[in-house]
Amino acid sequence: MRRIAVSGLGVVSPFGTGVKAYWNGLSAGACAIRPVTLIETEGFRCRIAAEVPDGFGGSLRRSRADRLALAAAREALEDAGLSRVERAEAALAVGAVGGGMLEAEAWYWERFRGRRPPSRPTPRSMLPFSHAEALGNALGLEGPRETLVMACSSGAASLALAADLIADGVVATALAGGVDALTRICFMGFNALKLLCPEPCRPFDRDRRGMSIGEGAAFVVLEELGRARARGARIYATLAGHGMTTDAYHVTSPHPEGEGMVRAMAAALESGRIAPAAVGYVNAHGTATPQNDRIEARAIHEVFAPGRLLVSSTKSMIGHTMAAAGALEAVATILALVHEVVPPTANLETPDPDVAFDCVPRVAREAAVEYAISNSFGFGGQNVTLLFGRA
Amino acid sequence: MARVAVTGVGVVTGAVTGGREQIRAFLASSGAPALSVPSSALGGLIDETEARRLSRICQLSVAAARIALADAGLGPGAGLGLVIGAEFGDLRSTIAFVDGYLHRGPGGLSALLFPNTVMNTMAAATAIAVTARELSLTLNAPTVAGELAIARAAAAVRAGRADAVLAGGVDEFDSALAELLAEGGAPSERRGEGAGFVLLESLDTAEARGARVLGEIAGVAWRALRARPYGVGRGAASRAVAAALDEAGATSGEVGRVWVSASGDGPRDRWEQAILEEALRPARPPQTALASRAGRHAGLGALAVAAAALDEVSRGPAVVHAIARGGTHVALVVRSVHNG
Amino acid sequence: MDPKEVLDELKTILVSRLKFEPRRAADMTLETTLPKGVEGSIGLDSLDFIELSIAIEERFGILMDESQDLTKHFLSFDTLAHFITARTEAG
């Protein structure tokens, strides 16, 4: 069984460009959820989101999402120090949902109003696969290429599938991650479903009222552990296992007992041959909807005994970054192992008494953790749990 | 390493709807091209209560999945995984969703349409309909999504990560969409619509339950050739075809037929020919382009794999091949039970 | 508006937004129950109810306060019609 090392990280988040800015924000428990500037929000109950600040570069002929992805992917590849030949053979797995929809929407809006639509970017870059095409071309990646669309668990699924390619001996290295830019469809849709909180979300709080939306991109470089060691690569953590299950229950509501969530977490532990007691930290899906947090907490409880387990939600700080979430939160989990500091759950004033765990309210916690998991439980019941081990 | 058996197939397309018997008849005939799925094709496959809540593309997907399971002699929920490829997803619902807002403001937004704006809606609906609770993936790619999904699923079965997987793809297409895409710069080609799935299981499992095996997926590979986004590359050196043949233990000289993804996009079709010539030379096996009868869509991958397995005429393993603008490249080697 | 008029509006919403067949909607009466799980109901689930709420807010100009539990109002067309009539008179 080949063991997988994480040898490169790249992030563009609502805290700014780069892994450093990301960790600074996370460890400080800062909240990047603010009034929306990228799109019109008049008439909607929720008008806030966690937007990525300027500074991630890229040609404006490209979609915003392509530019986010490129910046994060570049950082990861440079961090890992892969050669041109290694890049040419590396697999590429991208979790995406919105694609270049932000620009396609702008085009369509202008067309609807009888005005001349902008000439660049065009709707051609609208579909989710556009990022993989852009990255593959700009970064010289010619190995197996896939775009996974799995709603909120896309970014995590891409890491799992890339790990499988390495474990199967198909490739030696892989670049895997996820990206999503804010879109009108996403923002309006979640508003219409009344799932958004008018104020920054408060996961696991007794008085939580819904999600906040965010945007960003994160990529990691994965390679076989022995190979990473042999070439003297920096090893951040191991991707020790993963579990992927489907609720097959309802198109938007999760299974009421979190049955698919439990199976995903159990499968991740089993694939890594790790006992629940060895896990010190759970980076929760933690969207702050009354339903998700209650069901997820219950599912976590079924797999793990409370004990000294720490649970926190990164979405409290950067919002729900959709297809990027699984990847951004995987990086947060990895950084927690590296720095021996567990990022907090921001905005958590009154912990929900029904949640049996220490949810690290508002202030980061020093903790040397051996194994940590990251949960992504997507719309439509697509559950992914990633298991990371200290390097 | 398990051997990957194809034990069922189901397609809902303009040209043919049904399982292996209907596909056999289709292959033996030579009807006119049919690009759109008639509404009658779904008769009996989706009940009224379901139909209310399923968008058309989801209905196509659920219908084809049901046919494939019945063709395989399997009931729902048998530890089933699902891998669906799509190029466009539910664009029709997405456009209807934004039109609701543009015409009537926030009050015109539809909660029922919103989940369809995410491309995994077909997988979510199909998983519920056939109770598939294992791995459920949606892969998005231009042109090759169906073949890619089947390759991914075959790799999972071979590695023992999945027992039984429904794999294939679905795309919906109409003239309004065609116009919008053309306006946005999409190349012209013969596009159709439809859904197609094959059921993949390990050969051991298939034999143990007495399944009627159609064929075997003996080798798969997917890579990316160098090309600009939406562009056609200049190089034709493919590692995918070689890797797939290698895994299948077959040589280019043994290949009986190549099922190609050509669809009337001139530059891309020529690129495919260059790739195949380089990969298989000096052999020049005969080719079939299913898009000429059914239009190009993500359901064709399953139809091609099934056709390759059902082929009683060609001798030797078949290659199912697909290349997309931008470079995503898939090759599958299929052995028929007849003469693979 | 009297309950019969409200019912007609709700039937229109059921067809246009919840995608019910017109002949099925025509058969519905004030006594028809709505939620899935209630015997003989038209089987609406949570997502259907959200859609229905949005449509009711748009058509009748009332605001649904989702912090309150409105389940009892959505039991049948009768309870729903009364809820809407009370809100439109108050508004």
Are B58 and B90 spatial neighbours (Cβ–Cβ below 8 Å)? yes
Mean pLDDT of the region C16-42: 94
Angstroms from B30 CA to nearest CA on chain A:
35
HEC letters along A39-77 = CCCCCCCCCEEECCCCCCCCCCCCCHHHHHHHHHHHHHH
Angstroms from B18 CA to nearest CA on chain C:
27
Among A122-126, A142-146, A345-349, B28-32, name the one with the lowest average pLDDT. A122-126
Q: Name the residue in chain A with its Cα closest to that of C57.
A: A192
Q: Name the residue in chain C with its Cα closest to that of A208.
A: C67
Residue C87 has pLDDT above 90, yes or no: no
Provide the pLDDT confidence category of residue A268 given band limits of 50, 70 and 90: very high
Mean pLDDT of the region B199-210: 95
Is A235 part of any domain? Answer: no
Angstroms from B179 CA to nearest CA on chain C:
26
Q: Hey, is the C-beta of B109 within 8 angstroms of any chain A C-beta?
A: yes
Among B117, B119, B150, B226, the residue to mutate for chain A (most A Cβ within 10 A): B119
Pairwise CA distance, residues A228 & A143, whole Å: 19
Architecture label for domain C3-90: Orthogonal Bundle (1.10)
Are C36 and C18 spatial neighbours (Cβ–Cβ below 8 Å)? no
DSSP B33-92: P--S--GGGGTTTS-HHHHHHS-HHHHHHHHHHHHHHHHHT--TTSSEEEEEEESS-SHH
Is A373 part of any domain? Answer: yes
For chain B, give every domain's residue range.
4-208, 217-336
Residue B79 has pLDDT above 90, yes or no: no
Are A150 and A382 spatial neighbours (Cβ–Cβ below 8 Å)? yes
Query: Residues A62, A168: one domain?
Result: yes
Nearest Cα to Cα of residue B132 among B162, B111, B97, B88: B162
Q: Name the residue in chain C with its Cα closest to that of B115.
A: C47
Query: Residues A223, A362: one domain?
Result: no
Q: What's B290's DSSP letter?
A: T
Residue A1 has pLDDT above 70, yes or no: no
C68 vs A contacts (CB less than 8 Å): none
Q: Which residue has the tokens 């590359």?
A: B233
Provide the pLDDT confidence category of residue C63 given band limits of 50, 70 and 90: confident
Contact C54 B53 (CB under 8 A): no
Query: Residues A54, A162: one domain?
Result: yes
Query: Residues A138, A244: one domain?
Result: no
Listed by number, the residues of chain B in 31-50 with a beta carbon closer than 8 Å to a beta carbon of chain A are: none
Mean pLDDT of the region A284-294: 95
Answer with the one of A165, A199, A230 that is the final residue of a domain: A230
The partner residue sitting opposite A252, judged by closest CB among C47, C53, C54, is C47
Residue B115 has pLDDT above 80, yes or no: yes
Q: What is the pTM of this model?
A: 0.96
- Per the DSSP assignment, residues forming a β-bridge with A92 are A145, A175
pLDDT of residue B312: 87
pLDDT of residue A230: 96
C66 vs A contacts (CB less than 8 Å): 194
Provide the pLDDT confidence category of residue A232 given band limits of 50, 70 and 90: very high
C20 vs B contacts (CB less than 8 Å): 52
A192 vs C contacts (CB less than 8 Å): 50, 54
pLDDT of residue B30: 87
Q: Hey, is the C-beta of B110 within 8 angstroms of any chain C C-beta?
A: yes
Residue A302's domain comprises 240-390
Contact B112 C48 (CB under 8 A): yes
Residue A310 has pLDDT above 70, yes or no: yes
Q: Name the residue in chain A with its Cα closest to that of B185.
A: A124
Query: Residues A40, A18: one domain?
Result: yes
Cβ-Cβ contacts under 8 Å between A and C: the total is 15
Contact A194 C45 (CB under 8 A): no
Give whole-number Cα distances, A300 to A239, A256, A319, in Å: 20, 14, 21
Among A115-124, A335-344, B26-35, B190-199, name the one with the lowest average pLDDT. A115-124
Among C34, C44, C47, the residue to mutate for chain B (most B Cβ within 10 A): C47
Nearest 5°: phi and psi at B298?
A: -70, -10
Q: Hey, is the C-beta of B96 within 8 angstroms of any chain A C-beta?
A: no
Pairwise CA distance, residues A320 & A350, whole Å: 21
The partner residue sitting opposite B115, judged by closest CB among A248, A249, A252, is A252
pLDDT of residue B32: 85
Q: Hey, is the C-beta of B32 within 8 angstroms of any chain C C-beta?
A: no
Q: Name the residue in chain C with its Cα closest to that of B100.
A: C17
Mean pLDDT of the region A180-188: 98
Classify strands A4-13 and A16-17 as parallel, antiparallel or unpaired.
antiparallel
Are A297 and A357 spatial neighbours (Cβ–Cβ below 8 Å)? yes
Please state, rounded to an integer, the average pLDDT across all residues of chain B. 93
Residue A301 has pLDDT above 60, yes or no: yes
What CATH number belongs to B4-208? 3.40.47.10
pLDDT 10s digits, B37-55: 998 899 899 998 999 999 9
Pairwise CA distance, residues A97 & A324, whole Å: 9
Listed by number, the residues of chain B in 257-316 with a beta carbon closer than 8 Å to a beta carbon of chain A are: none
Q: Hey, is the C-beta of C61 within 8 angstroms of any chain B C-beta?
A: no
Contact B112 C18 (CB under 8 A): yes
Contact B107 C57 (CB under 8 A): yes
Which residues of A participate in catalysis according to the annotation? 152, 285, 320
Pairwise CA distance, residues A147 & B160, whole Å: 23
pLDDT of residue B31: 81
Query: Residues A198, A263: one domain?
Result: no
Query: Residues A179, A319: one domain?
Result: no
Q: Tell me the three state secondary structure of residue A301.
A: helix
Residue B264 has pLDDT above 60, yes or no: yes
Instruction: Indicate which CATH number applies to the domain containing A337.
Output: 3.40.47.10
Contact C47 A251 (CB under 8 A): yes
Q: Hey, is the C-beta of B101 within 8 angstroms of any chain C C-beta?
A: no
Residue A306 has pLDDT above 80, yes or no: no
Contact C58 B111 (CB under 8 A): no
Pairwise CA distance, residues B42 & A15, whole Å: 49
C16 vs B contacts (CB less than 8 Å): none
Q: Name the residue in chain B with its Cα closest to that of C52.
A: B111
> In which region does residue C43 sit, left (phi positive, over 0), alpha (psi from -120 to 50) or beta (all else)?
left
The partner residue sitting opposite C51, judged by closest CB among B48, B49, B110, is B110
Q: In this prediction, what percent of chain B has a pLDDT beyond 70? A: 99
pLDDT of residue A257: 86
Angstroms from B225 CA to nearest CA on chain A:
6
What CATH number belongs to B217-336? 3.40.47.10
The partner residue sitting opposite C54, judged by closest CB among A192, A209, A253, is A192
pLDDT 10s digits, B277-327: 999 999 999 999 999 998 999 999 999 999 999 998 888 999 999 999 999
Q: How many domains, chain A?
A: 2
For chain C, give every domain's residue range.
3-90
Mean pLDDT of the region A291-310: 92
**ipTM of the prediction:** 0.95
Q: In this prediction, what percent of chain B has a pLDDT beyond 90? A: 81
pLDDT of residue B339: 55
Q: Hey, what long-range contacts does A257-263 have (CB within 8 A, 24 or more apart)?
A: A257/A295, A257/A298, A257/A299, A258/A295, A258/A296, A258/A298, A258/A299, A258/A302, A260/A377, A260/A381, A260/A383, A260/B133, A261/A295, A261/A296, A261/A299, A261/A375, A261/A377, A261/A383, A262/A299, A262/A302, A262/A303, A263/A383, A263/B133
Provide the pLDDT confidence category of residue C71 given band limits of 50, 70 and 90: confident
Matching fold, domains B4-208 and B217-336: yes
Query: Residues A174, A283: one domain?
Result: no
Please state, rounded to an integer, the average pLDDT across all residues of chain C. 91
Is A306 part of any domain? Answer: yes
Residue B340 has pLDDT above 80, yes or no: no
Provide the pLDDT confidence category of residue B25 given band limits of 50, 70 and 90: very high
pLDDT 10s digits, B267-277: 999 999 999 99
Q: Hey, is the C-beta of C82 within 8 angstroms of any chain B C-beta?
A: no
B224 vs A contacts (CB less than 8 Å): 92, 136, 141-145
B112 vs C contacts (CB less than 8 Å): 17-19, 47-48, 51
Angstroms from C49 CA to nearest CA on chain A:
10
